[in-house]
Structure 1
Amino acid sequence: MAAESQFTGLTSVTSGSTAISQENRTLRDLVEIYRHLSGLALQDADIGTVAHLVAHRTDVTVAVISQKMGILAAASPGESYESAIQYVHDHLIHPRLAHMLANAGKSRHPLRLPDPARGRARVVAPILVGGTVPAYLVSLVGAAPDQGEDIDLMIAEHAATICGVILARERVIFSAASQVRDDLVEGLLSGSGRDNDEVVRWAQHLGYDTERDHRVLSIILEPPAGDTQRSALVAERAAGATARLFVAQSPDAITSVRTDEVVVVLTENTTPGSTTRAEQLGTLCVQRLGALFPDVGVSIGVGGAFREPAHIARSYEEARRTTEVIRRLGQRGAVVAFDKLGIGRLLLQVPDIETLREFATDILGEVLRHERKHHSEFIATLMCYFRENNSPQRASKLLHVHPNTVTYRIHRIEEITGLDLNSYRDRLAAQVALEIIDALDVSA
């Protein structure tokens, strides 16, 4: 009986020693995992490396999932990355997961959520970056005893902390890179480079192709009327959508989003005289923004073509001046190329729009009044006549009337206005007046 008692005592001691030994091994493994995870924070590692380390050291499937349940990274022991992604998609991504993520995000602590149907559990650890939770580390673990549960939570929490450090570092790097990029774009648009070689280097850093022609677009966005805060938010969203549209349509586009303007340096591949690629994409932009943000006003000016990076500033200035004309003339939603402004380039220099209206009215006001009274087509006839180099025959074909009708109308215009359209000065005055009438709402 004494021997039996001694044997029982020895067994108890042995079991206790085994338990302590097992606990020590577990703690050593935990410390080792902590050390490796902390080391990743000091290296140029990404969150995928963290997921891989945890998965292979703990023999569980691990994933990093965004707020919108996108899979940012995944790892599973003995499986390829693609297989791990598929496994996570099949076994983790579910509408119920959104509720689990939200709970972990609110608590700011890892949670263990049993899954009796699979005999497993999900450990969800929020990844903190500053005061936000942009993502979660989720692992599929076994139904372990209490001590195992604690270790699962501790590993998940530390791994999530390292992921937070990595994501914060990536944000800083991205922010710095974005600032450098914005500074380079601003330098090119302002023409502030010290010499041509410096400008070329700036452009090449931005992916500029010196073997192709380019144009600059100035896209002015006018926020909707009403609440200032809401208007600013809508305009900001519209600017972001504009930049994304151009990058999607032309991945090599260089974009700069400003307070009330989006500037795009775009490669050009159309033949001279045709509608430029910049105009085509500009029109598409107006249509898309009109559908998405109907309350936001859009005006797009297109600068002249160039190939040398040093000419970016000139094309931008042309685009910007063109948008000013569009806005001054009240042509909301227009896409206008500086090349096609014609005499409009000179009219831009007149500071007061009313001065232009007065000039047009002085020259052709009587014709406008006669046209309204008699429902005649004198103005259209005069425009066509000038565009066809004063040829009644060619103008008549376009107007679908007899050449004598064109001649009669031209004579009547001369009688009404007192102009001599054979005189260079009178003809020039009439042509300028017609350009103003075509651009502005001129009444007499």
Structure 2
Amino acid sequence: MSLALEDILRLPGLQEMTVRAAARNLQRRVRWPYVAENEGLAEWVMGGELVFVTGINHPRGEGNLLSLLDDGDAAGIAGMVILTGGSFIQGIPPAVVDRAEQLGLPLIEQPYALKMVVVTHVIGTALVQTTQVRRSRNDILGQLLTGDYPSLAIARQRAAHAQLDLQGPRRLVALRLSAVEGLFKRHGLSEGERLWQGTRQRLEDQLEGWCRGRPAAVTAQLAGDLFVLLLPDVPDLRTALVGLHRQLLAVAGEMDLYMGLSGIAEDCAQYRQALNQARQALEVAQNLRPATGLCDFSELGVLRLLQGIVDRSLLDDFVAQTLGPLRAPGRKQPDALLHTLDALLKENGNGLKAGQRLGVHRNTINQRMQRIEQLSGQSLDDPLFRMNAAVAMLIWRMTEAQGKE
């Protein structure tokens, strides 16, 4: 839950504000109102602001307004409000409206007679209240999703008090941006951080906007980079999530995005198990890279069998026996042979394609293949070994992912 531009326009006392451009993007979240006092904007905003332009302290001709739009769009502001009708800005030039529409940057006109002190007070108060509600809801959901609550009964009561609808069966979606490391390598820490945070902000906006259009849909963000959706189990859910993935890819920029879908949680007491299932499905999606970006836990076959093994030590022993000889903890790349085996399994034993997947020379792959067979005492041509290795690799990848959470 957050305050979007469309929410602000519905606040009491702000009915005179009129959308002039980019009404399609009114789901953008507003971080805070900011009154632009300087000639430019780029140095004074961080993204997510609703920028007010009065013309009081600086002339605001058509050229300056166009420049402000470009600066604001580049910085990721939520929208721009231009005050008109006073002695400073008589009206919004058509070229400014056209430019805002082209950029997709919401442009709002505010009559000068509507006092700024009233507008900023109304918006600021609503933002504080919304932040408090959101923090409370995230806290409740976080406790239910992790199982870290003092009392399930109290958690239910808190959810009801916060008007958090958790009634009925739910399925949980875990989603995460992928290829983040490459973003920082290409752009460096400073620019990479800006792009990363901007993308996360746009992703949150899209998720919240999507949930608003689906009854009883709830979004939450856990500590770290994992986004979570709690959704009613409806017949068109899979199709809707595929459409959501396409929508989110449009804002993911240079990064990829994958989703994992849990089985049905009949009650909020099962949310922790559902989160575990969704994470495992997400890990498979990140490794297998399906075209839809989505993996459903209920369709993962062997993964469901592994989930049913209560004694975790059985799985750990199986992984140690199958993959343990291939690890080299003291080396710079201790898991190089494991990643090579994984690539070979994904490419049906084709060394050339495995090398391309890993970005290494064919001779290196051949040497690693020989080393894998020597250390494991198994042949890569043996279908039984390949089956055991594939299952062990699946368990290992899940374990590694959960350890990084």
- Scaled by the length of structure 1, what TM-score is found? 0.45
Structure richer in helix, relative to its length? 1
Q: Which has the higher contact order (CA 8 A, sep 6+)?
A: 2
Q: Could you state the TM-score of these two structures normalised by the residue count of structure 2?
A: 0.49
